[in-house]
Amino acid sequence: MPCRSSPGRKGRPPPGYNHLSRGTTDTGVLVWQARSGLYYTYIGNGRAPRAALPSTAVQGSRTPRTATLGSSPVAPHRGRSRGPPVGVCGPRAPPGPRPPPLLVGCGGAAAAGWLCRGCVRGRSARGKMAAVTALRSSCRAAGRLVCIHRVRSCSSIRFIKSKYVCVFDKSALKFSHQQRLFRTSPVSYGQIVQFKLSDIGEGITEVTVKEWYVKEGDSVSQFDSICEVQSDKASVTITSRYDGVIRKLHYSIDDIAFVGKPLVDIEIDPSKGVSPEEDVVETPPMSHEEHTHQEIKGHKTLATPAVRRLAMENNIKLSEIVGTGKDNRILKEDILNYLAKQTGAILPPSPKAEIVPPARKAEAVPAAPKDKARRVPVPVSRPIAFSGKDRTEPVTGFQKAMVKTMSAALKIPHFGYSDEIDLTQLVQLREELKPLAEIRGVKLSFMPFFIKAASLGLLQYPILNASLDENCQNVTYKASHNIGVAMDTEQGLIVPNVKNVQVCSVFDIAVELNRLQSLGSAGQLGTSDLTGGTFTLSNIGTIGGTYAKPVILPPEVAIGALGKIQVLPRFNGRGEVFKAHIMNVSWSADHRIIDGATMARFSNLWKSYLESPASMLLDLK
Amino acid sequence: MVLQSLKNCLWLSCVLRTPKACFWSTASGGLIIQSVSNDVYQNLAVEDWIHDHMDLEKQQILFLWRNSPAVVIGRHQNPWQECNLRLLRQKNIKLARRRSGGGTVYHDLGNINLTFFTTRKKYERMGNLKLVVKALKALRPQLDVHVTDRYDILLNKQYKISGTAAKLGRTSAYHHCTLLCNADKFVLSSVLKSPYKGLKSNATASVPASVKNLFEEDATLTSEILLDAIAKEYAVQHQIDHHITLINPADETLLPGISNKTKELQTWEWVYGKTPKFSISTCLNIAYKGSVLDIKVNMDVKHGRIEACNIDLPEQWLPSGLHSELVRSLTGSKFCPNEITMLVTTLLKVCPQDNELHSRWSLLCENMIRLM
């Protein structure tokens, strides 16, 4: 971590830490550096805490406890209350044989003292893992940035009297007598810190807030995006430094925000699930951007402490896992996937607010390099819970249109009629005509034939091209055959129609279909293309299926659904089996004005035109 | 040649910190890459990918790219305000929204794009632009080009040949700029003129400027020559080999996750949905049966969807049920001609089959859709 020692800052090293040397980060924060590279920050006015750290020797069956910064005071040691406690965590007075613990955080309550927040689990002093994160001081007097640190272990907890106890005094007192295990406390006495807008560079002092990614009450994790600001052609994404809950947004959209002034207030919620706490393992030098690095064979892996613990519990080397998060960060999902591959089980990601049983013995074992423990992968014994959530979206756009159409269609009493068509001859004909059409620049499918045959049929049975009015009083026989073709686009079902098929040739229909198809896929169909239809054909067979039950599109009275063309064995007139191209058609019609016989006769006529295409020539106009 | 590019690909993959290839390349200072694709979405996705995934501590990157005709708007801009969307659709010109701020630009193959990737600390736009000017001057000493304080590059102190935008993230930042070599100025001016009236918005507005192609100043200049000159200057300044690595933005193995980024950039929600809230207040003049009707329309659009809508029709021009049905359908829909067309044609199907009604309805709806 880049650190310059800077004279002129008052302050002595904290008691018991005389071996630390003083320095400052690039942002001017005073830090104390150990020979191991571990850094501590000390917030306040630089003076050592008043109360000498008493040697409350807590041994052996020490109560596991967690201390939180500032507002959330620590439960007192058993029988060793020291007056109004405030978040406290400190080292033993003499740095004994144990490694100096120390995690220093700052809280608003004890601005001039050492505070620590962490959770101590396990019972033995030795094996304790304390995760402590220091928080920014919310005390304006201090007004200093504080870095997040991690510590090795906290061998004891002390109480420090502080001048600023009054702020959280009452709550501290109340809490101190409540419970031992901080983590199971139901209420969060989270520390609210003000996250200031950091320097943008190039001497910029103000920016415009353009978009908020969070709102008040949302929870955020470290490195989540909070907002987007813009300054003079540069767009900047501001990410969160903390895990917590957003309590206040200081600006609205289009406001001018100032560098160095508070942007949001985040409540660090210590009782929240797995992530903010901490076991932390190894504490290599911290960069002032609060990464947890770990040099493993010269390879940095980024992972939050929760993820590291998960890896460690399951004896996974972090270097073996490919991170899928930002900056190749290893996420919890990556570990679970890796485990699933190993154990063959499918492990869904466990819900975030999972509480780890407090009795677990956590060891201060760093993850990969010193992975000396058991090599046998331990099957994860978590109960497999499904954490998927329902998702509700409003019905808009194409779906809304469908809802309207289909609700109207419901009023129509449908009946169905299906049949099988032998398209062997048509297939052959199309093969001959396809190259001719291509020369003219048009793609020829089967649809133009189907459409033209339908139009010829409608000439004989005009009732199928009619429309019934709302009160079922009048039937209007439409003169134009505007045959609609159902199209499946990205957004949904649209039904443009080919106008006046009765006067179009098969080639004209093919041209028009091409035009409608290209407009449809580009999403540029006009209103005239989509209105005025009188009869519809739906070629669902291009996707698949044989028989269907199509729904009539009002104000029409009939619709046909065409299945896929299959090659099937059939008997011919001489009783021989031959290869036939068979397609199924399913018609639906409005039974109020159309009867089964009419539909059947229309279908037979249509079928005859397609089974022997030459017969179409006789009736073409 | 092939071997060289293979070697560089390997180099690139190491630089990209795959867990397997753990050795750090000895390249110092910089890396120059060029995209083989002309798809604006793919190229923007590469920028995002490098910004999110690459470690720029050890080396900075210069990314060179060109696009087939496209209009690129800034992160916080309003496409309706900035360009002629109807013309774009007609001419099949793509519309993209980039993640950096700034104004709207028209790209085609006669325009080159340069992106300078650095860490957040080393972000410095003026230096990058000075590098470009130095490269131009080295190529053609008689060119009168200079950088303004608005981070534009002007030719002959008058014509803008380059515009700038930047994006800063947590650890890395990039600054990109355009350079007009031989773009189609006619199309440029016609697509960048918005025909939509009555728009009120707080979105970042572009500052129009008169532009000129470098080709017009010196006909021997082509995009390739300019790309090469800039790459050479960058190589000199960063003390690296003058060598450009070509990358394919569709290569998922080289750039894992790139296809998702490309897809996201093409979604309606990103291109149109990220438009800051705006309102439209305009008057439709509809000629109907010999008279002209003035129909006032007010709409509030948020996230690209119509939040509130008000259409002031003459009394009984449309049955009131239909009028309210229209307003109800419009509310909550995307401010998109395709979707509105779908909705209004469907509504027509379920209302009485009256020719007069149909023609009025079609007239009104077509005019409404022209607003989009």
Nearest CA in chain B to A401: B343
- Which range, A3-12, A177-186, A319-328, B38-47, is most confident? B38-47
- Mean pLDDT comparison of A34-38, A113-117, A208-212, A313-317, highest-scoring range: A208-212
- DSSP result, A104-169: -B--STTTTS-B--EEEESS-STT-EEEE-------TTT---------S----------TTHHHHH
For A330-397, the DSSP string reads B-HHHHHHHHHHHH----PPPPTTPPPPTT-------SSTT--S--SPPPP----------------H
Structure tokens at A38: 């571990």
Percentage of chain B exceeding pLDDT 70: 92
pTM of the model: 0.65
CB–CB contact B353 A467 (8 Å): yes
A439-475 in b/e form (b: 16+ CB < 10 A) is eeebebbbbbbbbbbbbbbbeebebbbbbbeeeeeee
Cβ pair B170:A201 closer than 8 A: no
pLDDT at A528: 87
Q: Name the more confident of A121 and B116.
A: B116
ipTM reported for the complex, 2 dp: 0.81
Question: Can you give A97-113 as a three-state secondary structure string?
Answer: CCCCCCCCECCCCCCCC
Contact A199, B63 (CB under 8 A): no
User: What radius of gyration do chain B's Cα atoms show?
Assistant: 24
In this prediction, residue A310 carries a pLDDT of 73
Structure tokens at B241: 């080999």
Tell whether the torsion through CA atoms of B243, B182, B124 and B205 is positive or negative.
Answer: negative
Coil vs helix vs strand at A442: coil
Q: Which entry of A250, A288, A293, A591 is annotated as an active-site residue?
A: A591
Dist CA A359 CA A273 (whole Å):
16
Which chain A positions have a beta carbon within 8 Å of B167's beta carbon? Answer: 234-237
- Long-range contacts formed by B355-360: CB under 8 A, 24+ apart: B357/B318, B357/B319, B357/B322, B358/A531, B360/B288, B360/B317, B360/B318
What are the CA-CA distances from residue B93 to residues A238, A500, B39, B108 (Å)? 33, 33, 11, 10
Strands A118-121 and B199-201: unpaired
Catalytic, A419? Answer no
**In contact, B49 and B261? CB cutoff 8 Å:** yes
Pairwise CA distance, residues A266 & A222, whole Å: 11
- Whether B230 has a pLDDT exceeding 80, the answer reads yes
Please give the average per-residue pLDDT across A267-279, as a whole number: 52
Is residue B268 pLDDT above 50, yes or no? yes
> Cα-flanking dihedrals φ and ψ of residue A479, to 5°?
-75, -40
Q: Do B89 and A234 touch (CB under 8 A)?
A: no
Q: How far is CA A432 from the centre of its chain?
A: 53
* Residue B298 to residue B306: CA distance in whole angstroms: 10
Question: In this model, does residue A124 exceed pLDDT 60?
Answer: no
For the ranges A7-16, A502-511, A580-589, B104-113, which has the lowest average pLDDT? Answer: A7-16
The DSSP 8-state label assigned to residue A479 in this structure reads S
A488 touches chain B (CB under 8 A): no
Confidence of residue A433 (pLDDT cuts 50, 70, 90): very high
- Mutation for B interface: A25, A210, A226, A233, most B CBs within 10 A: A233
Distance CA A197, CA B256 (A): 32
- For residue A299, give the nearest of B22, B103, B348 by CB distance: B22
pLDDT tens digits, one per residue of B292-342: 888 889 999 999 999 999 988 888 788 878 888 888 888 888 888 888 888
Percent of chain A with pLDDT over 90: 27
C-alpha–C-alpha distance, residues A560 and A418, integer Å = 9
- Which of A55-59, A520-524, B37-41 ranks highest by mean pLDDT? B37-41
The pair of structure tokens assigned to A113 is 């003292």
Average pLDDT rounded to a whole number, residues A385-393: 83
Q: Give mean pLDDT, residues A213-225.
A: 86
Token pair 């007239």: residue: B363
The whole-angstrom distance between B219's CA and the closest CA on chain A is 31
Tokens read off for B338: 């395709």
Q: How far apart are CA B232 and CA B176, in angstroms?
A: 18
* pLDDT band at residue A503 using 50, 70 and 90 as cut-offs: very high
- As a whole number, mean pLDDT of residues B57-65 equals 90
Taking a C-beta distance cutoff of 8 angstroms, is the pair A231, B162 a contact?
no
Closest to B96 measured CA to CA, from B111, B116, B117, B77:
B77
CB contacts, 8 Å: B337 with chain A = 524
Neighbours of A10 (CB within 10 A): 8
Residue A43 confidence (pLDDT): 43
Residue A403 phi/psi, 5-degree rounding, is -55, -45
Residue A251 sits at φ, ψ, to 5 deg, of: -135, 155
Nearest to B326, CA basis, from B298, B303, B356, B346: B346
State whether B204 and A230 contact (CB < 8 Å).
yes
Which residues 6+ apart lie within 8 Å of B315 measured at CB? Answer: none
| Residue A553 contacts B where some CB pair is shorter than 8 Å | yes
Band of the pLDDT at A178, cuts 50, 70, 90?
A: very low
Q: How many residues does chain B have?
A: 372
> Tokens standing for A461?
């049975």
Q: What is the DSSP letter of A222?
A: T
For the segment A226-240, the average pLDDT, to the nearest whole number, is 86
Q: How far is CA A390 from CA A214, A347, A353, A387, B318, in A?
A: 21, 20, 18, 10, 41
pLDDT of A9 over the 70 cut: no
Q: Which of A298-302, A401-405, A499-503 is the least confident region?
A: A298-302
For residue B313, give the 3-state DSSP assignment.
Answer: coil
Please give the residue that has the higher pLDDT: either B246 or A98: B246
Q: What pLDDT is recorded for position B28?
A: 59
Is the preceding omega at residue A555 within 30 degrees of 0, hence cis?
yes
Neighbours of B286 (CB within 10 A): 15
Checking if the pLDDT of A155 tops 50, the result is no
- For the stretch B179-213, pLDDT in tens is 999 999 999 999 998 888 888 988 888 888 888 89
CB contact A328 to B (< 8 Å) = yes
- The whole-number average pLDDT for the span A238-244 is 85
Residues of chain B with C-beta less than 8 angstroms from the C-beta of A393: none
Q: How far apart are CA B120 and CA A261, in angstroms?
A: 20
pLDDT band at A453 (very low <50, low <70, confident <90, very high): very high
Sign of the dihedral defined by the CA atoms of residues A102, A104, A109, A110, in that order: positive
| B288, pLDDT greater than 70 | yes
Helix (H, G, I), strand (E, B) or coil at B361: helix
User: What are the tens digits of pLDDT across the range A130-145?
Assistant: 444 444 444 444 444 3
Collapsed DSSP state (helix, strand, coil) of residue B294: strand
The per-residue b/e assignment along A336-350, b for 16 or more CB within 10 angstroms, e otherwise, is bbbbeeeeeeebeeb
Q: How far apart are CA A588 and CA A594, in angstroms?
A: 10
Task: Tell me the chain A residues in contact with residue B253 when contact means C-beta distances shorter than 8 Å.
Answer: none
By CA distance, what is A407's nearest residue in B? B350
Mean pLDDT of B101-126: 90
Sign of torsion over alpha carbons B39, B42, B48, B50: negative
**B358 at A interface, C-beta within 8 A:** yes
By the 8 A CB rule, do B277 and B201 touch?
Answer: yes
- The nearest alpha carbon in chain B to A299 belongs to B22
With CB atoms and an 8 Å threshold, state whether A200 touches B202.
no
Distance from CA of B354 to the nearest CA of A (A): 10
Q: Which of B:214-273 have CB within 8 Å of A? A: none
Residue A183 is classified by DSSP as G
Q: Which of A148, A151, A144, A122 is nearest to A135 (CA)?
A: A148
Is A481 catalytic? The answer is no
Q: What is the CA radius of gyration of chain A?
A: 38
Give φ, ψ of A284 to 5 degrees. Answer: -75, 175
Mutate to test the interface with B, among A211, A232, A235, A253 (most CBs of B within 10 A): A235
Which helix H or strand E contains B185, and what residues bound it?
helix B185-191
Taking the C-alpha atoms of residue A62 and residue A466, their distance in angstroms, rounded to an integer, is 89
